[in-house]
Amino acid sequence: MRYLATGIVKWLIRNEAITEEDGELYEYAAYSLLITLAPLFLATVIGCIIGSLTTSIVLILPFMVIRKFSGGFYAKHAWTCLCCSCGLLAVCFLAASEIRFHVWLGIIAICAVFCLIACSPVDSENRRLQPEEKKEYKQKAGRIALGILGMIALLLMLGAEELAVHGAVGLIMAAGLQVPCVLQHVFQIFTGQMKKYTKKG
């Protein structure tokens, strides 16, 4: 992904669309855009393969929009991230296509919203958020999560159960990717407290 972003920027410089001095800034912007659009591209490919493009888009859009502000687990290397994303999306699409909307799925989706409100944003190692940004991201993640939950309820009322299921799975997936980071943070706090306790002892 980084090589692709670099290639795009070099092409822009060669065509005099941007100056070489601005190359680093545009490279970061191109990389961020590619990372953001990668899940949508993967969802489109997988949706075409399994013959259900609409439902795959409905699943990935809530995930993409929330994750921008909620944060969560990120692989350190682009290829690892790409492979994990493909596997995760494929599993979620297959699971969503096999289940119906039951009460338990609604309860899990509501719990996911509460988790997103409580835990967002989860800092990325690549870019630490400032306190003002954290407050802003937390509010946006909560509002978007509640909005998507409302959209799922509306889809159910309109009889679009399959779309509602995929939307719920996308919502749950966004919250689920926060879990490893939250557990890691709790573990770090616990080990820190244990070290202090052992030193006092």
Question: Is residue 21 situated within a structural domain?
Answer: no
Overall domain count for the chain:
1
Find the domain containing 107 and state its range: 49-200
Query: Which pLDDT tens digit goes with each residue over 41-88?
Result: 777 877 777 777 788 888 888 888 888 888 766 656 666 666 666 677
And the tokens for 125? 């190692």
And the tokens for 195? 């070290």
Say which residue the tokens 């289940």 belong to: 99
Question: Is residue 164 situated within a structural domain?
Answer: yes
Question: Is residue 125 situated within a structural domain?
Answer: yes
Q: Is 71 helix (H, G, I), strand (E, B) or coil?
A: strand
- The model's confidence at residue 197, banded by pLDDT at 50, 70 and 90, is low
pLDDT on residue 14: 77
CA nearest to 71, candidates 194, 145, 178, 156: 178
Report pTM.
0.73
**Do 144 and 65 touch, CB atoms closer than 8 A?**
yes
Q: Is the pLDDT of residue 120 over 80?
A: yes
pLDDT on residue 144: 92
Question: Is residue 102 situated within a structural domain?
Answer: yes
Question: Is residue 32 situated within a structural domain?
Answer: no
Question: Is residue 34 situated within a structural domain?
Answer: no
